[in-house]
């Protein structure tokens, strides 16, 4: 069995998230189940198709992270993996802070 290779470690991370499809404009409220420096996994019964470009906003302990993203993989009735492709101004430090917090728990 081949081990899975990732660009960065993933950490369990539970926060509320809202995303919007770039072409449809449809809003989806969901939650994260894990987070890494390149993306997150969102729990949802109705995931968007792989390749969908989105805007995502994650709220955790009063802080907000916002980025553009793309659905990297989609699992019906389970959720979807999102890769961050364009972080909003100041959000890199928010993401770094969250990852530091969960990595030291």
Model confidence over 44-65: pLDDT tens digits?
998 999 999 999 999 999 999 9
What's the average model confidence in pLDDT over 13-32? 89
State how far the Cα of 42 lies from the Cα of 45, in Å rounded to an integer.
Answer: 10
Q: How many domains does the chain have?
A: 1
Confidence of residue 1 (pLDDT cuts 50, 70, 90): very low
Rounded to two decimals, the pTM is 0.90
Whether 79 maps to a domain, the answer reads yes
32 part of a folded domain: yes
Whether 67 is in a domain gets the answer yes
95 φ/ψ angles, rounded to the nearest 5 degrees: -60, -45
- Structure-token pair, residue 12: 């369990």
Domain annotation covers residue 4:
no
Where is 83: in which H helix or E strand?
Answer: strand 79-87
Instruction: Examine residue 61 and state whether it is found in any structural domain, yes or no.
Output: yes
Q: Does residue 2 lie in a domain region?
A: no
Q: In what helix (H) or strand (E) does residue 64 lie, and over which residues does it extend?
A: strand 63-75
Q: Are 8 and 38 in contact (CB under 8 A)?
A: yes
Exposure string for 25-39, b = 16+ CB within 10 A, e = fewer:
eeebebbbbbbbebb
Which residues are bridge partners to 21 per DSSP? 54
Output the pLDDT for position 35: 97
CATH number for the domain harbouring residue 26? 2.40.10.220
- Kindly report the average pLDDT of the chain as a whole number: 91
Residue 80 domain boundaries:
11-103
């Amino acid at each position: 069995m081949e081990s899975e290779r990732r660009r960065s470690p993933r950490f369990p991370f539970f926060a509320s998230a809202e995303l919007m499809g770039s072409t449809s404009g449809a809003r989806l409220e969901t939650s994260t189940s894990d987070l890494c420096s390149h993306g997150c996994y969102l729990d949802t019964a109705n995931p968007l198709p792989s390749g969908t470009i989105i805007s995502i906003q994650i709220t955790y302990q009063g802080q907000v992270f916002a980025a553009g993203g793309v659905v990297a993989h989609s699992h019906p009735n389970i959720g979807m993996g999102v890769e961050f492709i364009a972080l909003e101004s100041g959000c890199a430090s928010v993401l770094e802070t969250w990852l530091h917090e969960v990595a030291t728990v």
